[in-house]
Amino acid sequence: MTSTDPRFGVLLSLGVAVLWALGSVVHAAAGRRIGAFGTLLWRSAFAPPLLFGTAFALHSPWPSGASAAWFAASGLVGVCLGDFLYYSALVSLGPRRTVQFTTLAPLFGASCGWLFLGEALDARALLGAALVLGASASAVWIERRALRPGSGSPAPTGSEPGRVTARGVLAAVGAAAMMGGAAVMVRQAYRAGPPADPFAAAAIRVGAASAAIWLARCFVRRPRPLGPMLADRAAMVRVGLGTLVGPFLGMLGFIGALKVLEAGLVTTLVSLA
């Protein structure tokens, strides 16, 4: 099995699902301490040095021109905007419910891939995507039925933190749309130039998003002070661990899988988290 074998892409996608599920739990805990934007902000400070350091250490060839621009654009859509919505949903809904809603990403990824890149999934892939989405929708519906209608009460003690709210659901669905669209942008980036190295591609993607996130803080009316967040040792440990398994290892796997598999199939497998 080689790095260009579709089976390798499947293994990478499944690995990303595990890593991103772990990262979601850890980052949700951090978000309840320093907020969704605070978590995203500090994650954006930790991830680029890891990715750029790895790319330089491995002497990875860097994409340029249109290819680099598409990788950067995918970062702005998927990592900057998409992850902000995702972390907002994590804090509001909790990790498990948020991951269930983001299984909508394959619909967006497959649709955009077909419309803009001409990528069509075969019958088996479409059936698999339908099964994943159906299972996720059933799980959300069953949990929603278990709550008292209109009570607005939080989840019972001992269960997952958070509750199902309209704001949380909209954030989770928006995150799924950004993830699907960004996956198609990565596929376009691979088509726009010579074969790109996943390490360098991931560094450009996360680097562009991180710069945009820190720039966005300048326009926040009353940003939370950085000092108290940095002094929250428990939150920083959680952000660091989540960054290692999510934006670093998970992102490398995601970019690598998109090199050999269609956007719709990658997002379907990743949504198994």
Work out the number of other CB atoms within 10 angstroms of the CB of residue 56.
13
Given a cut of 70, whether residue 259 has pLDDT beyond it is yes
Res 56: pLDDT: 95
Given a cut of 80, whether residue 3 has pLDDT beyond it is no
Res 206: pLDDT: 96
Amino acid identity, position 152: G
Instruction: Please classify residue 117 by burial: count the beta carbons closer than 10 Å to its beta carbon, then call 0-12 exposed, 13-18 middle and 19+ buried.
Output: middle
Which candidate, 58, 98, 81, 90, places its Cα nearest to that of 181?
81
**Distance between CA atoms of residues 147 and 130, nearest Å:** 26
Res. 75 pLDDT band, cuts 50 70 90: very high
Res 244: pLDDT: 95
Q: Could you report the per-residue pLDDT of 98-138, keeping only the tens digit for each?
A: 877 877 888 888 888 888 888 877 776 677 667 766 776 67
Given a cut of 60, whether residue 26 has pLDDT beyond it is yes
**Distance between CA atoms of residues 261 and 86, nearest Å:** 24
Mean pLDDT computed over every residue of the chain:
86
Which candidate, 40, 74, 39, places its Cα nearest to that of 210?
40
Structure tokens at 114: 């077909």
Q: Could you report the per-residue pLDDT of 182-214, keeping only the tens digit for each?
A: 999 999 999 998 878 999 999 999 999 999 999
Res 157: pLDDT: 47
Report helix, strand or coil for 209: helix
Instruction: Please classify residue 147 by burial: count the beta carbons closer than 10 Å to its beta carbon, then call 0-12 exposed, 13-18 middle and 19+ buried.
Output: middle
Res 193: pLDDT: 87
Q: How many CA atoms lie within 13 A of 56 on its CB side?
A: 6
Given a cut of 70, whether residue 11 has pLDDT beyond it is yes
Helix H, strand E, coil C: the string for 72-83 is HHHHHHHHHHHH
178 to 56, 84, 189: CA distances (angstroms): 29, 10, 16
Which candidate, 135, 128, 160, 131, places its Cα nearest to that of 146?
160
Phi, psi of 80 (to 5 degrees): -75, -70
Res 114: pLDDT: 87
* Global pTM value: 0.83
- 8 A C-beta contact, residue 187 and residue 113: yes
